[in-house]
């Protein structure tokens, strides 16, 4: 089973199972990671904003224009910010590391 690591807001790292085909948002919700996902993955908000570890960022598919528009609404945006609902686990992403952005 592929794995991924969430870095919590307090800096604690939590490695979890990351089933293929699920989004980072779905994986977070299954593991009680503190990500809201208010629009339930419909790309209508930015509450599943995560910061991708720089070593993984270039391995992701390109950001769509719709995702980029939603990211403009996210707090504490960084150069490696993405929406968790748009990141789908694949074999290539086994080991992915994402950080939860600082709270406002």
- Identify the band that residue 102 occupies on the pLDDT scale cut at 50, 70 and 90: confident
> Average of pLDDT values for 80-89?
97
Q: How many CB atoms lie within 10 A of CB 7?
A: 16
pTM to 2 decimal places: 0.94
Q: 17-52: per-residue pLDDT in tens?
A: 999 999 999 999 999 999 999 998 999 999 999 999
CATH number of 3-99: 3.10.20.30
Residue whose C-alpha is closest to residue 47's, from 83, 91, 3: 83
Q: Residue 21 class from Cβ within 10 Å (0-12 exposed, 13-18 middle, 19+ buried)?
A: exposed
Residue whose C-alpha is closest to residue 88's, from 41, 39, 35: 41
Q: Is the pLDDT of residue 104 over 60?
A: no
């Amino acid at each position: 089973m592929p794995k991924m690591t969430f870095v919590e807001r307090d800096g604690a790292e939590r490695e979890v199972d990351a089933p293929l085909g699920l989004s980072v948002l779905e994986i977070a919700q299954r593991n009680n990671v503190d990500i809201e996902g208010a629009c339930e993955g419909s790309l209508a908000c930015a509450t599943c904003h995560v910061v991708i570890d720089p070593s993984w960022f270039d391995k992701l598919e390109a950001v769509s224009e719709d995702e980029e528009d939603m990211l403009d609404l996210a707090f504490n945006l960084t150069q490696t910010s993405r929406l968790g609902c748009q990141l789908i686990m694949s074999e290539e992403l086994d080991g992915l590391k994402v950080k939860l952005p600082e709270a406002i």
